């Protein structure tokens, strides 16, 4: 009886164990499923943060190849290292819940030219069965003007500072940027909202133009609307011409009391050369700026004070010229000019009539009214009979033609107007009629044969009355 009873007891015990084992396995399977459902995921994107505001925006493309680490709190080793794809997307679909620190590995796609501008958020709390989103912005570094000038050609970087001019005020859509220490030019910059005096950030590639460092091509972003332009550096003409050895390239400067010695015009731009006793300087002024300043024409002899931006001269890159930004950059002492026309007055009328011809080579002298002893200008007519003085102070003047410069027997018959009033920044027009002398009958009888004269008197007969 003992053996069968033992076998029955063992059988029952075995069945019970199997039942428990089965129940345990079922429970274990359920717990395994719950464990899988309790894990979470991290999704994110990396983008080129062109405006460095930390948020993806229009035109800011994804960055491929960026390595993002997820490091659990309290650990030094990442639980996962994710690499962004061609769209800048990265993901970790199976992570234990918990707290993680988000990092970006150096090197790789960052290299020496990119830096992280934003990790948002830089710490995440991954919930049970949940997900977390991460955004990583990378961009080019911000450098000072001095650092940009020292960087290798081709380096992409940002420079922040004050815009010294409005885009479009200079040829080539150039903006001059001042960071408080030095200035740099950014040519070819697309339109962006800003005004001269605004605080801006400009992205560009370091390049060399005319032997000087520039940022090109460039892209601009306004940081702060200020409308406060730094005071220009007050220089002598020679200092501006040499830009202190290039240290002042692109700077905003002012030169005062410069006497203009040469003026030429090309393609709507007036190029004036002058000096202040220290040396000479070339100034490039769009005609529109002269108009804005109320200056009809810039003349030789004018005294010019100018504010503008230093740029290397294309024909001599080791020498600089000043470029004006608007009419407010110009000051000319109250001056004007006299322009006149000397002509042969065929019929002696004293005014220009059909058949009258210009007189070339007439020597014209200009005196201040009330001072006939010392001429303030001496000029000569061209083939078109035109003469033009240099810059003259505003006021009243007398014009005369030297008799010895006229052909034999010709005299000045009329100067109109006389005196001549020179206006501020304008041109006074005068005509000089030269013709044969008007004489009396007695005077005519004393003249040698062959002299041509005008004789005034009363006709005693008709022309056809005598044979």
pLDDT at 303 over 50: yes
Q: What integer best gives the mean pLDDT of the chain? A: 86
Q: How far is CA 450 from CA 202, 272, 444, in A?
A: 81, 51, 11
Q: Report pLDDT digits (tens) over 177-194.
A: 999 999 999 999 888 889
Residue 457 lies in a domain: no
Q: What is the DSSP letter of 235?
A: -
Residue 370 lies in a domain: yes
Q: In this structure, are 62 and 151 located in the same domain?
A: no
- Calculate mean pLDDT across residues 237-260: 96
CB 99 within 8 A of CB 125: yes
Cα 231 from chain centre? 17
Q: In this structure, are 208 and 249 located in the same domain?
A: no
- Calculate mean pLDDT across residues 14-19: 44
pLDDT-derived band at 37, boundaries 50, 70, 90:
low
Q: C-alpha dihedral over 203, 208, 212, 216, to 10 degrees? A: -20
Q: What is the DSSP letter of 62?
A: B
Q: Report pLDDT digits (tens) over 87-111.
A: 999 999 999 999 999 999 876 677 7
Residue 115 lies in a domain: yes
Q: Quick one: which H or E segment has residue 3?
A: helix 2-37
More confident: 275 or 21: 275
Q: In this structure, are 301 and 385 located in the same domain?
A: no
Query: In the structure encoding, which two tokens stand for residue 54, read together?
Result: 């930390």
- Overall domain count for the chain: 4
Residue 383 lies in a domain: yes
pLDDT at 4 over 80: no
Look at residues 315, 332, 349 and tell me which one is the last residue of a structural domain: 332
Residue 33 is predicted with a pLDDT of 40
DSSP output for 121-144: SSEEEE-TT-EEEEEEEEEPPEE-
Residue 265 lies in a domain: yes
pLDDT at 1 over 70: no
Domain with 45 in it: what CATH number?
A: 2.60.40.10
More confident: 223 or 456: 223
Query: In angstroms, rounded to a whole number, what is the distance separating the alpha carbons of residues 58 and 71?
Result: 31
CB 207 within 8 A of CB 213: yes
Query: In angstroms, rounded to a whole number, what is the distance separating the alpha carbons of residues 255 and 253?
Result: 7
Beta-bridge mates of residue 162? 178, 199
Q: What is the DSSP letter of 120?
A: E
pLDDT at 453 over 90: no
Q: Report pLDDT digits (tens) over 342-363.
A: 999 988 888 999 999 999 999 9
More confident: 453 or 403: 403
- Calculate mean pLDDT across residues 215-235: 87
More confident: 106 or 303: 303
Burial class, 286, CB count within 10 angstroms (exposed 0-12 / middle 13-18 / buried 19+): buried
Residue 206 lies in a domain: yes
Query: In angstroms, rounded to a whole number, what is the distance separating the alpha carbons of residues 245 and 102?
Result: 49
**Nearest of 417, 443, 346, 430 to residue 389 by alpha carbon:** 430
pLDDT-derived band at 225, boundaries 50, 70, 90:
confident
- Calculate mean pLDDT across residues 26-36: 42
Q: What are the start-end ranges of the H helices in 320-428?
A: none
**Nearest of 141, 140, 142, 148 to residue 249 by alpha carbon:** 148
Residue 466 is predicted with a pLDDT of 67
Q: Report pLDDT digits (tens) over 139-149.
A: 999 999 999 99
What is the share, in percent, of the chain residues with pLDDT greater than 90? 63
Structural domain that includes position 180: 142-224
CA angle 108–111–112, rounded 5-degree value: 165
What pTM was estimated for this model as a whole? 0.67
Q: In this structure, are 354 and 435 located in the same domain?
A: yes
């Amino acid at each position: 009886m003992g053996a069968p009873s033992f076998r029955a007891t063992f059988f029952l015990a075995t069945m019970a164990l199997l039942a428990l084992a089965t129940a345990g396995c079922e429970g274990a399977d359920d717990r395994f499923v719950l464990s899988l459902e309790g894990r979470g995921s991290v999704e994110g994107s990396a983008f080129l943060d062109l405006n460095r505001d930390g948020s993806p925006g229009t035109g800011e493309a994804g960055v491929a190849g960026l390595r993002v680490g997820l490091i659990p709190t309290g650990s030094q080793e990442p639980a996962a290292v994710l690499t962004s794809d061609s769209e800048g997307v990265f993901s970790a679909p199976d992570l234990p819940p918990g707290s993680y620190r988000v990092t970006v590995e150096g090197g790789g796609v960052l290299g020496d030219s990119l830096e992280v501008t934003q990790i948002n958020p830089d710490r995440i709390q991954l919930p049970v069965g949940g997900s977390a989103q991460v955004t990583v912005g990378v961009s080019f570094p911000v450098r000072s003007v001095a650092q940009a000038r020292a960087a290798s050609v081709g380096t992409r970087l940002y420079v922040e500072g004050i815009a010294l001019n409005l885009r479009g005020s200079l040829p080539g859509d150039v903006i001059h940027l001042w960071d408080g220490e030095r200035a740099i030019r950014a040519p070819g910059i697309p339109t962006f909202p800003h005004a001269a005096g605004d605080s801006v950030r400009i992205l560009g590639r370091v390049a060399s133009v005319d032997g000087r460092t520039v940022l090109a091509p460039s892209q601009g972003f306004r940081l702060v609307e200020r409308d406060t332009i730094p005071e220009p550096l007050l220089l002598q003409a020679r200092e501006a011409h040499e830009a202190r050895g290039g240290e002042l390239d692109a700077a905003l400067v002012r030169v005062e009391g410069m006497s203009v010695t040469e003026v030429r015009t090309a393609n709507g731009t007036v190029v004036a050369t002058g000096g202040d006793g220290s040396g000479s300087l070339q100034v490039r002024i769009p005609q529109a700026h002269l108009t804005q300043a109320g200056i009809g024409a810039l003349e030789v002899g004018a005294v010019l004070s100018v504010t503008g931006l230093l740029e290397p001269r294309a024909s001599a890159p080791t020498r600089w010229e000043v470029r004006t930004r608007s009419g407010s950059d110009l000051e000319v002492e109250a001056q004007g000019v006299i322009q006149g026309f000397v002509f042969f007055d065929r019929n002696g009328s004293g005014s220009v009539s059909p058949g009258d011809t210009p007189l070339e080579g007439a020597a014209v002298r200009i005196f201040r009214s009330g001072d006939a002893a010392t001429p303030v200008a001496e000029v000569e007519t061209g083939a078109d009979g035109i003469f033009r003085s240099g810059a003259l102070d505003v006021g009243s003047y007398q014009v005369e033609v030297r008799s010895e410069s006229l052909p034999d027997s010709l005299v000045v018959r009329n100067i109109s107007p006389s005196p001549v009033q020179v206006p501020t920044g304008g041109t006074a027009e005068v005509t000089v009629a030269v013709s044969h002398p008007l004489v009396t009958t007695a005077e005519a009888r004393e003249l040698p044969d062959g002299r041509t004269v005008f004789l005034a008197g009363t006709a005693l007969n008709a022309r056809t009355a005598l044979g």
